[in-house]
Amino acid sequence: MTKPKAAPSEYERKRQENIAKTQALLRNLEMEAAQAGLGPTAKSASTSRASKPKKPTPRKIKQEEVVPRRTSSRLKGIEADSETAKRKAEEEHEARRDADKAKRQRISDAFNFGDILVTGKGGDAITSLLNVVGPANPYERTFDEDDVKETTDKELRALREKMSGLELWSEYEPNELKITPERIYALGMHPTTDKPLIFAGDKLGNLGIIDGSQKATAVKVEDDEDADYEAPSITTLKPHTRTIHTFQFSPHEANALYSASYDSTVRKLDLAKGVAVEIYAPKDTSEDAPLSGVEISKDNPNMLYFSTLDGRFGMYDMRTPSEKAAGLEIFHLSDKKIGGFTLHPLHPHLVATASLDRTLKLWDLRKISGKSDSRLPALVGSHESRLSVSHAAWNAAGQVATASYDDTVKIHDFSSSAVWKAGHTLSDAEMEPAAVIPHNNQTGRWVTILRAQWQQFPSDGVQRFCIGNMNRFVDVYTAKGEQLAQLGGEGITAVPAVAKFHPSMDWVAAGTASGKLCLWM
């Protein structure tokens, strides 16, 4: 027999009544909302049902450096809100802050290349290499073969055909040539003419090195008809803790590379010995003075010149011990950032600076006057652009090329500079550019600033410079502003913003924000 069902208790009866009242109230509210037009319509309901469910976005695994780990106060028996708990929280915060500071702190010790090797082969391999040795419109050309064919000047046409004939390195596509882990800020080629050796400095202080003469090696895989190819051999060092903004091969030692960084130091990398030594840093180790330029005079192998992001220009005698200030002299040339400077190749007492204050300025180091903060080299002349000027580059003929955010590349002719006496000054008219080239320089936040860079020793004597193009090319111009080539090719998927000639060979290298290399030969 089935057991008779027990009558509900008083508590259960009350609970069921409350549920019924609540449900009735909700139905009334829904009806009132629908009458007022506030409820969901049938169209929206059907649309939401018909829409396809979105695929979950795959989570990216963020690799982080190991920092002091948080621990449970409860498991350690520490009472919440007690003095002990507060002290523990403060200690953990201090430890994390110290760990973060240590990552960015410059290190003054000398490094062997083995100590700063990130990837690739070590110092012996590098030594052996040397021993053998508007809005952008991607891919839309503004200069092509029709412009070359229409050139009537025979010499100019021959030069255009020669430079436009340069081709991308055929062994590897640019996407395979990740020369640095992060965005490239500085790039250059070793002066050897035996083969292209390319160096690139990135945002995190890495220095990538690649031999542009290596051949792709085929690797046969079992049960696979097509052969794979080995990745190119790239060596990565980390001589700095922050951005390598610029570097220069010494005109006196081909295997000495001087690099300037946002970590406030200049380091000399001896590529033959495999050692990186700190040459200059502020006396106070806690001082933050990011550097924006570095150069060695051709007349004096011991004199180092540098510029900073706060508008200062320095001269430092490297024979002086770094802890003494006797060999250091610093001038405050601008109230804003100096984006770059160069010395005249033949008359290094003449300095050209480009600044965020929109000016190109020429200075003469032969005449320095004033006291304290007012002590400055003689100002030869100044030219103001509509917007900031990112770089100023001298060539051996006495011309200065600048790139600025007013979307122009300007070429100033100071060919008479060889006869200037100390204290010579130029009028505003004499500082005006001889040629103005329209050029999109709107790089934005994620692309390295475009800079015009001259070829140091052109074999045919024709002065020319290269500069990155926002349409994913590299433009080549003469000192008269005539375009010689627009270098491009398959596989260039980002703006080759940092472009540089080999000092004497017609080789052009350029780096992108993703650390990739483009090489034309």
What pLDDT, in 10s, does the model give residues 426-467? 999 999 999 999 999 999 889 999 999 999 999 999 999 999
User: What pLDDT is attached to residue 502?
Assistant: 97
Asked if pLDDT for residue 60 goes beyond 60, the answer is: no
Is 456 in contact with 464 (CB distance < 8 Å)?
A: no
Q: CA 137: distance to chain centroid?
A: 22
Asked if pLDDT for residue 121 goes beyond 50, the answer is: yes
User: What pLDDT is attached to residue 37?
Assistant: 59
Taking the C-alpha atoms of residue 288 and residue 279, their distance in angstroms, rounded to an integer, is 16
Q: Which residues contact 110 (CB under 8 A, 6 or more apart)?
A: 275, 276, 277, 278
pLDDT bin (cut points 50, 70, 90) of residue 256 is very high
CB atoms within 10 A of CB 15: 12
Tell me what the mean pLDDT of segment 231-253 comes to: 94
- The rounded mean pLDDT for the chain is 85
| Polymer length of the chain | 521
User: What pLDDT is attached to residue 457?
Assistant: 94
Sign of CA dihedral 395, 397, 398, 399: negative
Joined together, the tokens standing for residue 141 give 């050309």
Tell me what the mean pLDDT of segment 108-128 comes to: 70
Q: What residues pair up with 363 in beta bridges, in sequence order?
A: 351, 379
What pLDDT, in 10s, does the model give residues 19-42? 888 888 888 777 776 666 555 544
pLDDT bin (cut points 50, 70, 90) of residue 45 is very low
